[in-house]
Structure 1
Amino acid sequence: MTKHGIIDDFEAYSEWRKQVRNVIKKYRDIAKAEDLTNAHSEQRLNQIISTLNDDKLYIAFVAEFSRGKSELINAIFFSTLGKRVLPSSAGRTTMCPSELMYDHDFEPSIRLLPIDTRSTGTSIQEYKNMPEEWSDYPLDIDSAEQISEVLRHITEVNTVKPGHAENLGLHITSDEGHEDGLHIDENGEVEIPRWRHAIINFPHPLLDKGLVILDTPGLNALGAEPELTLNMLASAHGVMFILAADTGVTKSDLAVWRDHIIVGELTSRAKGRLVILNKIDVLWDDLRGQDEISDEIKRQVKETAKILNIDEKMIFPVSAQKALTAKIRNKNKLLNKSRILELEGALSDMLIPAKRDIVTDTVKRDMAEMNLSIKLVIDQRLAGVDEHIAELDGLSSKNVEVIENMLLKVKADKEHLERSLQRFQATRSIFTRQTVALYQYLDPKAMEITIANTRKNMKISFTSRGIKKAMTKFFASVYEAFNSAAEQSNEIKELMQGVYSKFQEEHGLVNIRPGGYATRKYMREIKRLEQSSERFVKTTSLVMLDQGVITERFFDSVSSRIRQIFQKANKDADNWLKTIMSPMEAQIREHQIQLRRRLESIKRIHKATDTLDDRLAELKYVRDGIIEQGDKIKHINRKMEKILAKEEDDEESRVSA
């Protein structure tokens, strides 16, 4: 079966990422062999490699039911298997959000989280670390029938009393014509999904290379599970919004688009978003000419663009069902008529370069810090050897008095350094106190108190005004914590700047300036959550707000994300504190080694165990070795630059593992 569009491009991206990972491994091995790294820098390099190993590309597919969403996923990604992977039939098929991925640590299976876990207030992300809470059904990858049968679990429903559904935070509407909410049947009961979330672990080549597909089941699920909008959709690299040509843009479609996809962006340039007008085959008619059919499709595209307030170029009319049939049966004419290839090309052009740019920028930034650290070590080694060569060059003969004076000078330098280190230890106690204060501001446990108080205040008043007031106070506390952390980190930076300057002045160490701890990225994410909270209060009906469980679920999702931000900020602060000390400690270590070598060298000359010429020759050999160390690092950096620039010269750009 011939591969199409995004499949080829994603595999090329995966190969490029592998090359980047391998060249960084080579860099790490060279730096370690030449003793140019310490424990912290080795850990940092291993983190970069680990990140490249675990790099994921998330694509979310969002639609109301009966828009052909599951069939579109099958057509784009799974046609090479010659069968449908996701259930696809008339009516509602996907009842719970599903993630398609592949993790080698698990057997092929579908893991299902029961809907009743919604009553606990625990997020889906947190449940992912609780395997005992999931129901696990193995997949037989050699049996298409067994896979199809097992995956039907995601379509399962439970029939319950309305009160039970409301306790789970599911909205019930009495208006039969209203699409937002569950409807009570003639027996006074409602159908709810049996499962809250599904993880399908499937050994597909693209999933194995890091593709993750999020399949969401529509407005009811998005409204009832705020974590989807706040975390999963927000972090997706691409979001595909599917409409159907036979229904047009319905009221619920528009609600999904405005409240869960563009979420405050300028719709004219909503980045990473594509709109798919599916089921164009309903417009195919043997009694109408091809031009007439094309004009009708263009009319629908134009009308859709106007309603959604987007550029027509963002809309792709397709027939997913015909595309899947054409790919499986090798019908090129039908494939072209389905227009799926245009969508795949746009999807690839939008996602792959953007993702590669993110990886490139991250690697360049991290490796620039690593190169600076290694350059400082090499420069210091060269400066030390050059200084010692200059000392010995000044000896025209083995003058005992001159050598003894030189010996005394090196001993004095060594004692001076030891006194400076004693003062440095006193400074470290101040540094420790300030780092403790920084950790306190970013302590996830301290934030739990704020979360608990906010939840208590929200329970007192479930009016829109009361909820808004509680959320405003909550975010003010979060901002205060990060503003205090920023001020504290600046104090630490200034303290270390003073220490650096003192050592540079007294001992001639290389002039470097410690970097700062950046809180801006966390503040941006917090601001996004705050805007989502304001939108929730504004767009959610008073009836739903009065149904306290829905509001509680929303706050659970917000607080879960805030916890993750604090945990990440705490971890990043830990890395920063190690980084800010590491260059100083590395320079001091090198300076101590050089003083010890100078002392030993002069002692040997003084005792006549070495001639002056022998020692000078030895030092020049050492100097050549240090220059060679720098050349090795420069050479591997040039290879890395070529790979990051995606140059085609395989001999230069490929580095074996």
Structure 2
Amino acid sequence: MANSSLIHEFRAYGAWRAALCQRIDAYRRWLTGNDLGDAQADLRLQQLVERLAEDRLVVAFVAEHLNGKSELINAIFFADGSRPLLPPIAAGTPTRTICPTELLYDRGKPPRIELLPIETRATRASSTEFKRFPEEWRVIPLDTQSADTMLRAYTHVNQTKRVPAEDARRYGLWHPGASGDSAPSGDGTVEVPCWRHAVINFPHPLLEQGLVILDTPGLNNIGADLELTLSTLPNAHAVLLVAAADAGITSGDLALWREQIVPRRGRFAVLNKIDGLWDDLGSDAQTGVGIAEQIDDCSRLLELDAARVFPVSAQRGLLAKISGDDALLARSGLPQLEHALATELIPARHEIMGALVRAEIQNMTNATRSRLEARRRNVLDQLQKLEYLRGKNRSMIGVMMQKVGSEKESFARELASYQALRGVLSAHTDRMYTHLGMDALSDDWRRASEEMRRSIFTPGVRSAMTRFFRNVRTGLEHSAEQVAEISTLMAAMYRKFSDEHGLRLTAPPPFSMLRYLKEIDRLEKTYQRRFNTLVAMLTTEKLTLMQKFFETLASQVKRCYGYANREADLWLQAIMAPMDTQVREHQMQLRRRLESIKRIHQATDTLEDRIEELLAVERGVRSQLDALEKRCTTLEEALEFRAVPLAQAA
């Protein structure tokens, strides 16, 4: 049986990234070999390769318990026989996911399961932050060659235990007045998951190429895991809401969809277990009508295009893939879902990564081209002046030497001006980082937390959180003002050196804080929705939950600031590197010109020898320019994503 369109497209995307990494690395080595690179350019290209190699595509699955979520994951991704199936399916028994579980592959680690203890929920740190501290995680080795051993290891993920109700309250997993499964037993204990988060490092070909599958807890657990709803799900490239076809969209499904799943590209609804309707509804025609009605209801309730609602039977689809039954696979509805994921996810991810790489490569190749063109112009200028000296006396050569010396001194004065402008630029940069700095954010975070702890009434809590978001937004806006000042300053500096010294410099690349401001807006809207929900609760418990919610929310703001800082660092490197490189190049050429004329004047070199030497240099530079254009063409070709048709790949 041929690979599904999704698996085929994902493998093609992985091959595209690998080929592009090779081309970029070859370009980096060419720069070094031709004395056109420097430490900063080398670092930027290495970072670009690492970013491509480490790119990940996150697909999240959310559902009520026992809606066949794990079965759907296996049917889509792990039914090709290249690796053992995940233990829950291999065991033939349904399991429920009770903590967020990531399926991925990190080559730097052996196959294993990493488990973060539930006790860490009592701290302010997010599970993402805990990933920097491996000693906090329990590690269970995975023997990928033994299905039984893997099953035993996997059972750790869904372990539960009973803890005192007060501990469960500190973890945010219970509150006074809770009923049902969350109610304390006779001994005053509450059942909670043993683990806050699980990471399964599994060497499957798709995971090796950057696929990350997020298997989430049931909807009730999702509501308790603030990090999952604030960050993980909104940032996933695809989110599949899995509902039971016979029950349709429940109130829990609807609440999650409206409150937690951010409407954007890559959002789908799956009506699983349609095989239960095959017999119940009689004929195929009646079955088709019944399924169509469920699709319409789902589309209407979720306010989602019906084309993004997929009726499937994960169980039958998995069986069909394993047995090679094409007719059963088609009836399961799985190929249509896989095709939708393939045609939306992969092209969208390629568009984002391709634009990022293209912008960085063009910036660097333009700088290299400008440097070579400046070098060639300088050589041609020297040739013209030396050819003019043919037949002239020594005094004329002395005059030219004085002229070049004066030009060198003039440029030295301009360099002093350049350094002064660098000082002004540095001041703007410092102010930008002051507003964007983690220290200022931590101060705002601490003040808001203290205000919330002192408040016993809702208005005080609301005021503290509103002030926190206002300060965060103000910091980003002030940073954006400094970015604009830096851009204006650099553009003026580029023009000055271009007009007065012939340096060919393209306009500085743009940078905007808009995406980070939008992320803060999203987080604030999430806070407002959750705040209104918590207001209805009892006062003491409300304040405790609000503080926990705020800490989780603030950690996501911190993450946003971290991204903004890294992007600002890269942007500053990108705008300064071309200028610094061309200034050094111009200095070097002036020094060489002066030394060349000095040698001719002192009769240590003949005029003809020097002209021949410069002609050879000009040919070499022209050859480098030709080679650069070929490299640019090769890189541009590599940036195009061309998947082999599925029929040819089968």
Taking structure 1 as reference, are residues 513 and 145 closer, same or farther at Cα in structure 2, changes over 3 Å only? same
In structure 2, the partner of 1:330 is 324
Taking structure 1 as reference, are residues 335 and 510 closer, same or farther at Cα in structure 2, changes over 3 Å only? closer
1:314 Cα deviation after fit: 0.7
| Matched-pair contact (CA < 8 Å) for 1:158–1:193 | yes
Matched position secondary structure for 1:547? helix
Taking structure 1 as reference, are residues 567 and 67 closer, same or farther at Cα in structure 2, changes over 3 Å only? same
User: 1:85-234 counterparts in 2 under 5 A?
Assistant: 85-87=86-88, 93-172=96-175, 182-185=182-185, 189-234=189-234
Does residue 444 (structure 1) correspond to residue 438 (structure 2)? The answer is yes
1:91 Cα deviation after fit: 7.0
Between 1:338-347 and 1:196-205, the stretch displaced more is 338-347
| Matched-pair contact (CA < 8 Å) for 2:436–2:476 | yes
In structure 1, the partner of 2:9 is 9
Does residue 295 (structure 1) correspond to residue 296 (structure 2)? The answer is no
- Deviation string, structure 1 residues 428-452 (Cα, Å, up to 9, x no partner): 3333333322221121022111001
Rounded to whole Å, the distance in 1 between the matches of 2:281 and 2:258 is 38
- Deviation string, structure 1 residues 334-388 (Cα, Å, up to 9, x no partner): 2222111111111111211111111111111111211221122012112211211
Does residue 379 (structure 1) correspond to residue 373 (structure 2)? The answer is yes
For 1:408, which of 402, 411, 414 is the aligned residue? 402
Matched position secondary structure for 1:200? strand
**Which amino acid in 1 is paired with 2:352?**
I
| Matched-pair contact (CA < 8 Å) for 2:67–2:242 | yes
Between 1:485-494 and 1:506-515, the stretch displaced more is 506-515
**Which amino acid in 2 is paired with 1:598?**
R
In structure 2, the partner of 1:652 is none
Displaced runs of 4 or more, over 6 A? none
Gaps of 5+ in 1: 650-657
Matched position secondary structure for 1:543? coil
| Matched-pair contact (CA < 8 Å) for 1:544–1:550 | no
1:540 Cα deviation after fit: 4.2
Rounded to whole Å, the distance in 2 between the matches of 1:347 and 1:446 is 41
**Which amino acid in 1 is paired with 2:10?**
F
| Matched-pair contact (CA < 8 Å) for 1:468–1:534 | no
Matched position secondary structure for 2:269? strand
- In percent, how many aligned pairs have the same letter? 40
User: 1:123-522 counterparts in 2 under 5 A?
Assistant: 123-172=126-175, 182-185=182-185, 189-262=189-262, 265=263, 270-285=264-279, 288-461=282-455, 464-522=458-516
In structure 1, the partner of 2:631 is 636
For 1:590, which of 579, 585, 590 is the aligned residue? 585
Matched position secondary structure for 2:106? coil
Taking structure 1 as reference, are residues 155 and 42 closer, same or farther at Cα in structure 2, changes over 3 Å only? same
- Deviation string, structure 1 residues 459-506 (Cα, Å, up to 9, x no partner): 233655443322221111011111221222333334444444443444
Taking structure 1 as reference, are residues 633 and 136 closer, same or farther at Cα in structure 2, changes over 3 Å only? same
The size of the alignment, in residue pairs, is 640
Rounded to whole Å, the distance in 2 between the matches of 1:173 and 1:247 is 31
Tell me the TM-score normalized by structure 1: 0.92
In structure 1, the partner of 2:555 is 560
| Matched-pair contact (CA < 8 Å) for 2:163–2:189 | yes
Gaps of 5+ in 2: 645-650
Taking structure 1 as reference, are residues 6 and 404 closer, same or farther at Cα in structure 2, changes over 3 Å only? same
In structure 2, the partner of 1:655 is none
Taking structure 1 as reference, are residues 24 and 550 closer, same or farther at Cα in structure 2, changes over 3 Å only? same
In structure 2, the partner of 1:654 is none
Taking structure 1 as reference, are residues 253 and 540 closer, same or farther at Cα in structure 2, changes over 3 Å only? farther
**Which amino acid in 2 is paired with 1:591?**
H
In structure 2, the partner of 1:67 is 67
| Matched-pair contact (CA < 8 Å) for 2:88–2:95 | no
In structure 1, the partner of 2:57 is 57
**Which amino acid in 2 is paired with 1:612?**
L
Taking structure 1 as reference, are residues 153 and 401 closer, same or farther at Cα in structure 2, changes over 3 Å only? same
Tell me the TM-score normalized by structure 2: 0.93
**Which amino acid in 2 is paired with 1:291?**
A
Taking structure 1 as reference, are residues 466 and 222 closer, same or farther at Cα in structure 2, changes over 3 Å only? farther
| Matched-pair contact (CA < 8 Å) for 2:458–2:535 | no
| Matched-pair contact (CA < 8 Å) for 1:411–1:599 | yes
Taking structure 1 as reference, are residues 64 and 287 closer, same or farther at Cα in structure 2, changes over 3 Å only? closer
Taking structure 1 as reference, are residues 466 and 585 closer, same or farther at Cα in structure 2, changes over 3 Å only? same
1:648 Cα deviation after fit: 8.1
Rounded to whole Å, the distance in 1 between the matches of 2:457 and 2:87 is 41
RMSD: 2.4
**Which amino acid in 2 is paired with 1:87?**
P
Between 1:122-131 and 1:515-524, the stretch displaced more is 515-524
| Matched-pair contact (CA < 8 Å) for 1:503–1:509 | yes
| Matched-pair contact (CA < 8 Å) for 1:70–1:86 | no
